[in-house]
Structure 1
């Protein structure tokens, strides 16, 4: 069975709702075991040992990743852990145009990750449509993990 890790940081609960929906979507694939991990409980091994990874973080401040937990975690990741690994990115935002997600996508591509879709962003709290998109993203990531 393939292993999928959904690692996230959430300040208000919006990105956590998204993470749960991504994990639920991934669980629809019987060939995948899914672990939902708050970033403060994650480490490099959470990524190394997974066949596919989803990372979730809201936009903070001037459209950047959360700086005390998620940014330091992402900084530890290197090409050795990510090259060729299926990856999905997601997060919520309150303002801006999604520049933080575009920057994050480029950063992860630069480390060799294989993005399974464009980063998924939802404004504020995810509604039913947003949660459905999260489930679709999780299912797409799980499908990539078992290939």
Structure 2
């Protein structure tokens, strides 16, 4: 199974989540397209069976700029795709992730429950990241 795992990170928290997911997916035998949003190849992502996208909450609970730009570019290719969204936040209540879920659903994606971590992921958070990512392989 081909899984695209694309993320943006400003403090390293969302990157830590993505690294844990990448490790879990690779150990489970998935073919992983792993990249930051600013260097991801939209065609490879669109050709994947599963698309996992991560962004920290920025400003007034919005996506990080490079993820916003990347996501807008692939939004039209998400119809019928299995999509998972994740990220880290400092303040607020996760509105950025709920808004992103709505956007993905409106694009026709099959969106599962998102995953968010407050600030720096601890060991138990990273284990949740791994389990969450592996659940997409079922």
TM-score by length of 1: 0.88
Q: Distance in 1 between matches of 2:106 and 2:45?
A: 16
Matched, 1:138 2:133: yes
Aligned position for 1:74: 71
Q: Which runs of 5+ in 1 are unaligned?
A: none
CA distance in 1, matches of 2:28, 2:78: 22
Query: How far did residue 18 of structure 1 move?
Result: 0.3
Equivalent positions of 1:9-88 (< 5 A) are 9-30=8-29, 32-67=30-65, 69-79=66-76, 81-88=77-84
Please point out which of 93, 98, 102 is paired with 1:102: 98
Q: In the TM superposition, what is the alpha-carbon distance from 1:3 to its structure 2 partner? A: 1.1
TM superposition shift of 1:50? 1.1
Show structure 2 runs of 5+ residues with no match: none
Question: Could you tell me how far apart the structure 2 residues matched to 1:28 and 1:140 are?
Answer: 13
Note the aligned Cα RMSD (angstroms).
1.2
Work out the number of aligned pairs and report it.
138
- The answer to whether the 8 Å contact 1:4/1:52 transfers is yes
Report the 3-state secondary structure (helix = DSSP H, G, I; strand = E; otherwise coil) of the residue aligned with 2:68.
Answer: helix
Distance (Å, rounded) in 1 between the aligned partners of 2:45 and 2:107: 13
Contact 1:53/1:87 (<8 A) preserved:
yes
Q: Using structure 2 for the length normalisation, give the TM-score.
A: 0.94
